[in-house]
Amino acid sequence: MSDDESCCALRDGKMILRGIKNDDFSNDTSRYLTGGIYTKDKVNFGFGRLEIKAKLKGAKGAWPAFWMLAENSKWPAGGEIDIMERLNFDSIAYQTIHTYYTLTLKKKDHPKSGSTAKIDPNKFNTYAVEKYPDSLVFFVNNKKTFSYPKIATREQGQFPFDDVNHYLLIDMQLGGSWVGKIKDADLPVEMEIDWVKFYKFKNVAK
């Protein structure tokens, strides 16, 4: 994420995050610059529902993401919660969790650690995750996409989400081995964030 002011803006009450081609290397030598925000050391989230309403414009090499990392724990021990990732011009969004159990031990299917859901690329969509002591439940446009439960296992790090809070990252990433090469002619690319909301669950201690 860049500090360049061209990567962030407010427009009609919405937050705009951009991926742009860098035309000035005097301040930053990166070929591309991307806008993003994160709540680390400011706001973190325990048990409850976190949701984000956003419109994602497409570009070859665009990789917008909403994700969460543990506030006071190293990765991947504290877990990673990917509320939304979208590639290029796709009409689907990816929702995934990453832990020591899924990454280091490579146990991604017991239980299933990710899913995809259809989105309307031309409209605002709402992405959400509900965090409970024994599960994570994901939604797109208020429709449940999948859940990741805590299971009985002797393996390490299967469900680290019950004893740490997580902070939120929102970023307009560009390029990478998963999304592929960037097409300069498609830039700049934007995502619009209408709102971010968090509902703390009652009667769920944290």
> What is the pLDDT, as a whole number, of residue 206?
55
Residue 84 domain flag = yes
Confidence band (pLDDT; 50, 70, 90) for 161?
Answer: very high
78 Rama sector, left if φ>0, alpha if ψ -120 to 50, beta otherwise: alpha
Does some domain include residue 124?
Answer: yes
Q: Supply the range of the domain harboring residue 52.
A: 5-23+31-200
Mean pLDDT of the chain: 95
Q: Could you tell me the CATH number of the domain that includes residue 68? A: 2.60.120.200
Mean pLDDT of 1-23: 92
Neighbour count for residue 26 (Cβ, 10 Å): 5
139 within 8 A of 130, measured Cβ to Cβ: yes
Distance CA(98)–CA(200), nearest Å, equals 23
Percent share of the chain, pLDDT over 70: 99
pLDDT at position 109: 95
Whether 206 is in a domain gets the answer: no
Q: What is the pLDDT of residue 72?
A: 87
In a domain, 128, yes or no: yes
Return the amino acid letter for 6: S
How far from each other are the two terminal CA atoms of the chain, in whole angstroms?
A: 31
**Sequential DSSP letters for 143-192:** EEEEEEE----SSTTS-GGGS--EEEEEEEEE-BTTTB---GGG-SEEEE
pLDDT average, residue stretch 16-38: 91
Mean pLDDT of 168-182: 96
Handedness of CA 55, 137, 93, 21 (dihedral sign): positive
pTM of the model: 0.95
The tally of domains found in the chain comes to 1
Q: What is the pLDDT of residues 90-111, one digit of tens each?
A: 999 999 999 999 999 999 999 9
